[in-house]
Structure 1
Amino acid sequence: MNEKTKAFYASLHEKLSNEHFPLLYMFKFITPSNHDKIALLTNVFDENAEITLNQSKKGNYTSISARTVMLSPEEIIRIYQKAAEVEGVILL
């Protein structure tokens, strides 16, 4: 993990530490409209997550929103880290 990425996760952890957990949290991602990549991203969530998919007008990209209950800042960061492993994904 490079320094910029470490700084991002440290900043996120600091912001999330001010929240009260458990917390209903919304994750947002953009990925190329590829079934395999969409499946990899949706599989980072458990069966209780409410997942919404929206394709771009031209169909080249898909936005993924997932609402789920998180128990700690560390749990949120783990999901972002897993999602970041998918090539071409943009974390929002």
Structure 2
Amino acid sequence: MGNTSEWPTEYLYKFIVPTDAKKIEEVENAFDNMGAVIKTHQSKAGKYTSVSINVMMESPADVVEKYIEVSSIEGIISF
């Protein structure tokens, strides 16, 4: 049997966005009112900002839905 998770569970999203306050805010707004813990870290050159988000998710489908929601942010990289 493979790895399985019990749902709901805490999920860690990681994104990289161009360092632009508006783009970072768009990512943060996607997780607004969800009790998410959001941490940002700017790259050495300052061109990009990583955004890590720990949040309780109800199901794998909800996780995918969030990835789809933020995919419209220009320049975002999800991993």
RMSD, aligned CA? 1.6
Kindly indicate which of the two structures has a greater share of residues assigned to helix.
1
Between 1 and 2, higher relative CO (CA 8 Å, sep ≥ 6) is seen in 2
SS of structure 1 residue aligned to 2:30: coil
In the alignment, does 2:22 pair up with 1:52?
no
Q: Which residue of 1 aligns with 2:14?
A: 28
TM-score of the aligned structures, taking structure 2 as reference length: 0.90
Q: Which residue of 1 aligns with 2:55?
A: 68
Question: Which stretches in structure 1 are left out of the alignment for 5+ residues?
Answer: 1-14
Kindly indicate which of the two structures has a greater share of residues assigned to strand.
2
Q: Which residue of 2 aligns with 1:41?
A: 27
User: After TM superposition, what 4+ stretches of structure 1 lie above 4 angstroms from structure 2?
Assistant: none
Taking only the aligned residue pairs, the percentage that are identical comes to 36
- Aligned pair count reads 77
Q: Which residue of 2 aligns with 1:84?
A: 71
Write the distance in 2 (CA, Å) between the matches of 1:21 and 1:53: 26
How far the C-alpha of 1:83 sits from its partner, in A, is 1.1
Question: Which stretches in structure 2 are left out of the alignment for 5+ residues?
Answer: none
